[in-house]
Amino acid sequence: MSENLKFDICCAARMLFRAGLSVANAGHISIAIGEDRMLVNRFGPSFATLTPVDILTCDFSGKILDGEGWVNDTIQLHGVIHRHVPDLVALVHTHPPATVTFSAFRKTPEIYDQESCILAGDVAIVEEEYSGLASKEDRILPMAEALREHRAILLPNHGAITRGPNVQLATVAMMLLEGMVQRNLSVAASARALGVEPKPIAMEAALTAKREIAKIPFLQPLWADLLTRLRQTDADLFESFADVASA
């Protein structure tokens, strides 16, 4: 089971890279696998090159329990959240470019399109000022509390965190968030060019659409499609997983 979860983390990371939602070798993806235990990518490889051997088992303080490599202090971002929200399974933290740009405004994005309705009422801002790396418990605790109620949080001038009952949904939430803020930025630019005030979808209508979309079993075929695309571009990942699985 753990080998499959490691592969899932690698697939998620590479999908985010292919979608342009990662920067250099920053960011972590974690899955809680027990009390005080999580799978997480080691520091070093970017999201573009992760393979299952790069996924470590750590406790929530960042101590490596299984695997070879190193984790930096920002692993506390995941460990503290997992410790304080024990029913939270998967976390994705990365620095999507449009999301980082939008986070500078310290506001939650409006809902301008149907896909964004999936995150209606589920996006929050944490912090008013950027104050360095998120590696201290007192700074991370408000993020953990926000993630109890929201699927996505914006970290001003930094990036975003999304959660899910599995890494697939946490990854899709990050993709949806980036699409949502891209739409906000493009609508704002169009409004200036046209001299017309844009009209977002009312929250009540967005929540109705969210409930309707939730009835559609979209995740499995969407993830299968993302895997098909990834197999075409990242054959080495599938080969490395086959080697590990057969060992």
Locate 102 and state its tokens.
């939008």
pLDDT given at position 60? 96
Burial class (CB in 10 A: 0-12, 13-18, 19+), 140: buried
Non-local (6+) Cβ contacts of 70 within 8 A are 42, 43, 44, 64
Locate 118 and state its tokens.
């999936």
pLDDT given at position 246? 60
pLDDT given at position 1? 65
pLDDT given at position 226? 97
pLDDT given at position 194? 97
Kindly give the parts of the chain with pLDDT less than 70: 1, 128, 130-135, 243-247
* Structural domains of the chain sorted by starting position, each given as residue range(s) with its CATH number in brackets: 2-217 (3.40.225.10)
Give the three-state DSSP class for 64.
Answer: strand
Residue identified by tokens 């979209």 is 218
pLDDT given at position 26? 86
- DSSP letter for 55, please: E
pLDDT given at position 242? 74
Per-residue pLDDT tens digits for 143-174:
999 999 999 999 999 999 999 999 999 999 99
Q: How far apart are CA 121 and CA 16, in angstroms?
A: 23
